[in-house]
Every structure is written in C-alpha cells, then in structure tokens.
C-alpha cells in the first residue's frame, strides 16, 4: 500500500498528464479509505479552478481600473 | 505547382494557428505587464511579427514556444520604451533552494500526513466572495518566486507541462516536484487563512 506522500504526488501528476490504469487504481483505492488524501484530491482540483478564476479576476480588475476615490 | 500549394497551406495554417494561441499569449503578457492594453499591444505586435516571418518558423510542435519567444522580445521592447530596466527571469530553476522542494513538513517520515487536509466547507461559495480572492492572491504571492513562476505558467497562463519545462529550463522530475509543492503550499495556506477562519467565525456566530 502506497503512502499518503506517494498518493498525493500521483494525484498532482494526474492533473498534468494521463496516469496509467495501475496508478489511477492505486489512487482510487487509497482515497476510498483515506479522507485526508480525498480532501487533497478535491482541493487540488479546486485550486486549479481558483487559479483560472484568479486570472479572470486580474483581467477584470485591470480593465476596470478603478478611479481613485 | 507543388511549391505553390505548399506555401498556401503554410500561410493558412499559420493564420488559424496564430489566432488559436492568442488567449494564452494574452494571459502571459498580462501577467508580465499587468496592464491589459499593453498586453494586447504586445500580443498584436507579436502575432504580426510572427505572421510576417512564418518562414522563420520550423515545425508545428513548437509553435506556441516560438510565439512566446517573440512575445518576450515585445515585452522587453515595451519596458525599454518605458525606460525601465528589463525584468529578466532567467534564473536557473533547477537550482531551487533545497528547502523549497522538501515536503517533510507536510508528511511524517513514514509518508503519512503530518497535519493533513481537513474538509472544506462550501469551496464553490468562496469563489463568489471578493475577500477570498484577496486571500488567494496572498497565498499565491507567498510561494517562493521560482515556484510561483512555474505554477503561474501552468495554471494561469495555461501552458502544457512540457511547455513550462521548455520555457523555464526545468527538468521533468523537478517540474512534478515543484508543481506538487506549490499545490501543497497553496492548499495549506487557503485552509489556514480562509477555510478554517470562516469555520471559526461561523462557530462564533452560533455560540
């Protein structure tokens, strides 16, 4: 059984490349039993979503250029 | 005749392909210049320059890399016009501070979580709150500079992993470690500064 350190590293890699069936299986089995790694999995996806939202925010903020008040 | 059709294909390909990369180029320029008008100008100039010298480009695989190379020059030109020092970010990313790439403070020696991720309440709701974005920005700025650059090229600009490596000179192995580290750090920061905070506030309200 792989450790949380190894599983989270795989989860991270899975966001940037396609993992093998074995690797995906290892993640799936692990997160079924480990809530911390399950949380990490959800949160790493959330961070990606937030990053995309952030660049949009940045764009809007810069476009608006608030008048000094 | 063969030659003629070949040229036509090449120019068609570049026009469509150039337009395709516009959003990524714009985000890249926006992060560097922090001004949408300047960013837009730099991207326009780059695409024009690219279009005028398509013959200089070899091979479709690295089109975006080639375009970013042109864009970098345009950004440097911009700073030169502004009479500011050109900001270079060509530090060796493989020479990261050793402490930046250790995850020992996140995991125990047996590989289990040191103090692991707790369950976050309503992460989707956080995205709708202005205060959350301030916290997010703080957390992102708290990443070590080199790590932040890698993270932003991937997640904000939207480059593929291999493009980030090409762009930064980072090795494959270092890329995975760096991205993972960035996510672990961001996660922890958001948990401490936002999700655990709002939890305690909510508890206070109900007390």
Does residue A68 carry a pLDDT above 50? no
Q: Which residues of A38-58 are buried (b: 16+ CB within 10 A; e: fewer)?
A: bbbbbbbebbeebbebbbebb
d(CA B66, CA A30): 42
d(CA B190, CA B60): 39
In this predicted model, what pLDDT tens digit does every residue of B2-39 receive, in sequence order? 444 444 445 555 677 788 899 999 999 998 888 888 89
Does residue B111 carry a pLDDT above 60? yes
Pairwise pLDDT comparison (B63 vs B183), residue with the higher score? B183
Cβ neighbours of residue B171 under 8 Å, at least 6 residues apart?
Answer: B94, B165
In this predicted model, what pLDDT tens digit does every residue of B146-193 receive, in sequence order? 899 999 999 999 999 999 998 888 999 999 999 999 999 999 999 999
Chain B closest-CA separation from residue A16 CA (Å):
6
d(CA B207, CA B204): 5
- The encoded tokens of residue B181 equal 């580290």
Pairwise pLDDT comparison (B9 vs B74), residue with the higher score? B74
- The encoded tokens of residue A58 equal 């940045």
Chain B closest-CA separation from residue A20 CA (Å):
16
- Beta-carbon separation of B161 and A59 below 8 A: no
- Beta-carbon separation of A43 and B140 below 8 A: no
Pairwise pLDDT comparison (B130 vs B2), residue with the higher score? B130
Pairwise pLDDT comparison (B71 vs B17), residue with the higher score? B71
d(CA B159, CA B175): 13
Residues of A in contact with B179 (CB under 8 A): 12, 15-16
- Four-CA torsion B196, A51, B180, B161, nearest 10 degrees: 170
- The encoded tokens of residue B193 equal 């500064």
Q: Transcribe A15-66 into DSSP letters.
A: TTSPPPHHHHHHHHHHHHH-HHHHHHHHHHHHHHHHHHHHHHHHHHHHHH-P
Residues of A in contact with B109 (CB under 8 A): none
Tell me the ipTM for this assembly: 0.90
Residue B125 · residue A53 · CB < 8 Å: no
| pLDDT interval class at A42 (50, 70, 90) | very high
d(CA A4, CA A10): 10
Mean pLDDT for the stretch of residues A46-53 = 96
The reply to whether CATH 1.10.10.60 applies to domain B2-81 is: no
The closest of B142, B158, B149, B140 to B178, measured between CA atoms, is: B149
Mean pLDDT of chain B: 81
| pLDDT interval class at B56 (50, 70, 90) | confident
Mean pLDDT for the stretch of residues A27-52 = 96
- The encoded tokens of residue A44 equal 């790493």
Chain A closest-CA separation from residue B72 CA (Å):
19
pLDDT of residue A60: 78
| pLDDT interval class at A69 (50, 70, 90) | very low
pLDDT of residue B84: 63
Residues of B in contact with A17 (CB under 8 A): 161
Least confident of A64-68, B14-18, B61-65, B108-112: A64-68
Residue B162 · residue A59 · CB < 8 Å: no
Least confident of A25-29, B4-8, B78-82: B4-8
pLDDT of residue B104: 58
Please give the class, per CATH, of domain B93-206: mainly alpha
């Amino acid at each position: 059984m792989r450790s949380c350190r190894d599983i989270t590293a795989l989860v991270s890699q899975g966001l940037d490349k396609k993992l093998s069936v074995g690797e995906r299986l290892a993640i799936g089995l692990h997160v079924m039993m480990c809530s911390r790694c399950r949380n990490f999995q959800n949160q790493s996806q959330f961070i990606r979503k937030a990053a995309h939202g952030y660049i949009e925010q940045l764009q809007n903020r810069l476009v608006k250029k608030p008048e000094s008040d | 005749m063969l030659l003629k059709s070949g040229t036509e294909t090449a120019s068609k390909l570049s026009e469509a392909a150039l337009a395709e990369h516009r959003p990524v180029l714009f985000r890249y320029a926006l992060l560097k210049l922090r001004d949408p008008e300047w960013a837009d100008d730099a991207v326009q100039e780059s695409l024009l320059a690219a279009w005028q010298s398509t013959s200089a480009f070899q091979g479709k695989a690295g089109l975006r890399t080639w375009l970013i190379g042109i864009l970098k020059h345009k950004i440097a030109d911009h700073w030169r016009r502004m009479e500011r020092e050109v900001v270079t970010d060509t530090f060796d990313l493989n020479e990261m501070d050793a402490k930046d790439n250790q995850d020992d403070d996140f995991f125990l020696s047996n590989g289990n979580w040191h103090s692991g991720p707790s369950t976050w309440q309503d992460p989707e709701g956080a995205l709708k709150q202005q205060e959350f974005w301030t916290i997010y920005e703080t957390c992102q700025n708290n990443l070590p500079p080199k790590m932040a650059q890698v993270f932003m090229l991937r997640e904000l600009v939207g480059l593929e992993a291999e493009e980030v490596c090409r762009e930064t000179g980072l090795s494959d192995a270092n890329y995975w470690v760096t991205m993972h580290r960035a996510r672990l750090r961001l996660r922890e920061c958001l948990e401490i500064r936002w999700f655990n905070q709002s939890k305690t506030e909510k508890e206070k309200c109900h007390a």
